Amino acid sequence: MARWKKNGGSYWWRNNNGITMTANGEKDAGQPMLGWTEDQEDDYYLRPGLRFALAREKKQDRCLAILTFVAFFMLVVIGTCIIVLTTRHYVKPCTVCDSVESAMNLSVDPCQDFYEYTCGNWVANVKVPEGYSKWGTFGEVYSRNNDLLLKLLAEEGYEYNGNHSEALRKAKNYYHACMNVTAIEEAGSAPLKQLLNQLGGWSILPRNTPGIVDWDETSFDLTRDLTSIHLKDGSPLFDMGIAPDEKNSSVGIIQFVQDGIGFNAIELYSDNVTTHEEAYAALGAKVVLLLSLADDESVVLENITSHSSYAPALERMRNIVEFEANISKIYMPKNLVRDPSKTYTKVTVKEFADIIPQINMTYYLNEMFATAISPDRKILVPTFSYFVKLNDLLKQTDKRTLADYLTWNAVKPTLRFLPKIYEDIILKYSSVFSGSNTTVPLWQKCLQRTDNTFTFVTGALFVREVVTPQLKNETQDLIHYIQDAFIGNLPNVTWMDDATKEAAEEKAYAIKPKIGFPDWIEDTVQLDAYFKDINITATSVFQNAMNVGHYSLLYLRDLLDKPVDKNEWHMGPSEVNAYYSATFNEIVFPSGILQAPFYDVSRPMSMNFGGIGMVMGHELTHGFDNHGREFDKDGNLRDWWGNASAVAYKNKTDCMVDQYSSYKIGDKHVDGVFTLGENIADNGGLKLAYQAYQQWRETFNDTMGLLSGLGMSQDQLFFVGFSQVWCSYATPQSAEMSILTDTHTAEKFRVNGAVSNMPVFSDVFNCPSGTPMNPKKKCEVW
């Protein structure tokens, strides 16, 4: 049952499953309305009037006339309601047609290249904002969210929901300190020099560097110096934290993982191309030079490399890069690290300490947690072999290189909080990787940093403006359609045995959706309590960065020996993203992504299912991808698969590995193994969204037919809606880096790869067999 009703300035439609869809604006605002047109409105009032006029002519039987009129009136009303309730008409002008069609390259055959067909004109005409090497639909939504956040942060006062909020005050002060260019320039390098003094100087600096104590080689202690930097939120050599025990996900456990290199892609250290390594060394050398300048000495960016102190600093930085390259050689391969069953390694603190005696792990842990950590405590070391080899590398490396490297890891994260000349050398360095020679405006940088640090404060402001109870209800109902589609499809998964199917069904039912935002952020008391341990000044962006690092340390310590809070969110409310957590067995959709073009009541439901519906299906399918399938319904790493089903699954995924490995960006192939989990999720998500839409359409007898203005069927619009949320542009450098670092395949192949595996797509677009979008060999896992 569904109906439109006028409610103030909005139209809303409610069905018996709880979906409420709003279309803002007056009825004549050009919004496509469900089951309501001007013509229908006129007809509704005209016909009873005519019937009543005829009745008046029959004065000899007024009572009968009245009864006849009432009966006829009721029939008209009932008939009209039946039409309205079972049919969706888009007779009013199509408000989305222009934006949809303007993105398309209609000269391209959709059976040859569906991504180019749906996004070709968007890519050709996109205006990439300054500072971005990649831009797409996600970026456009993110930009709109930022505009709103900026407006909200600019409002005077610190009141939230009628109460004074200290958390809001801290967030605003953090933003204003970041924007205070005068204070940043006046402080110069002094804040960084103060940090270096706290660390005992920097071995790479010349002796008698103004404002910095000289490093003393005789006092160098690897464990102590390493720990000092980790206490300040650095992660040289490795990273340590507390996360759910994968085999007992309700319990948090200390974990150590490999870390400490400057490049996100270890391949860059061994690709026989020195461009990236030289740019990295030059970045560090320029920082050393700026720190070395006398108080009365200045230098412009263009002349840095000609300064007499630059060449010696460059050589020392090259030694650091070489050491990092040696670290990268002992890294566990990225495709192996992503396999939890092969990396789950639980040992005691003593057993771990015994394999890496070059570092006193007992001292390290006691300092990090400010309490004595028992040598018998169990910890997880997923990259165990790395630490075995790291011990040998540390023995072979001289003290000065280790000292240079450690302090460089403390310096790097602080550079963005220093004067503009430091920002300029960062841009020079990053452009080698990104292909972009511009930077985003300062307000955007500061807003992003504020959102990252105070994500639940900015999120609280954001959701107050954009989220309604109806939106959460609508989204919840869409998720139910997706879950039902997955469960309904299981009988068709012929390669899986019945017992494994039953376990898969139980897991699918157990997946917990989180939508919009955590409710507690609407409570000022709880919001303030969450950020009570973070100290923020309105005058120093650098000190604020140090304080945030200390807050992270306090947060880590607070997790020790606490049960895992499975109500915790790991993404901010305004973020344009979504995720699946294997140890929580949950799918999470922040408010930031619940907007056009992912979801919009002014768009046909076919496009909404193709947009947010596919995202929902994608995240749910992650629970059954090559990583998620290893976790059970309670979020524990456990083999619940029958042997034959596991073998069949591997065969199915091998097809997908081969398919995506055949795609190329420039002269490099996509890594089909590295991207496998995302590719399974893309394919499964699209299939689930289509099946869910068909069920929704059947439930509501959706006979919309062709959408006025586009001449496309609703099934065609479903696929167009899916593809257009992935319209994207990237510089060649950015695209090349994505192949090495991003587990997602490039957007073009995310679209074409998924639709080419769906027979129904070929039916909808009449693609002949053997065309690129209808290959004879198709891959399907779920």
Nearest to 503 by CA among 365, 323, 324, 636: 636
In single-letter form, the type of residue at position 235 comes to S
Catalytic residue among 324, 451, 528, 619: 619
619 classed as catalytic: yes
> Residue 159 pairs with which residues in a beta bridge?
164
User: Are the C-beta atoms of 746 and 679 separated by less than 8 Å?
Assistant: no
Measured CA to CA, the distance from residue 404 to residue 401 in angstroms comes to: 5
The answer, yes or no, to whether the previous bond of 597 is cis (omega within 30 of 0) is: yes
User: Are the C-beta atoms of 431 and 728 separated by less than 8 Å?
Assistant: no
Q: Give buried/exposed letters for 655-692 (b at 16+ CB in 10 A, else e).
A: bbbebbbebebeeeebbbbbbbbbbbbbbbbbbbbbbb
In single-letter form, the type of residue at position 525 comes to V
> Residue 243 pairs with which residues in a beta bridge?
253
In single-letter form, the type of residue at position 573 comes to P
221 classed as catalytic: no
Q: Give buried/exposed letters for 382-393 (b at 16+ CB in 10 A, else e).
A: bbbbbbebbeeb
DSSP H or E run through 254? strand 248-258
> Residue 3 pairs with which residues in a beta bridge?
14
Catalytic residue among 630, 682, 715, 736: 682
Handedness of CA 456, 462, 464, 466 (dihedral sign): negative
Q: What is the full DSSP assignment across 550-611?
A: HHHHHHHHHHTTPBP-TT--SS-TT-S--EEETTTTEEEEEGGGSSTTTS-TTS-HHHHIII
DSSP H or E run through 322? helix 310-329
User: Are the C-beta atoms of 713 and 762 separated by less than 8 Å?
Assistant: no
Measured CA to CA, the distance from residue 366 to residue 632 in angstroms comes to: 34
Catalytically active residues, by annotation: 619, 682
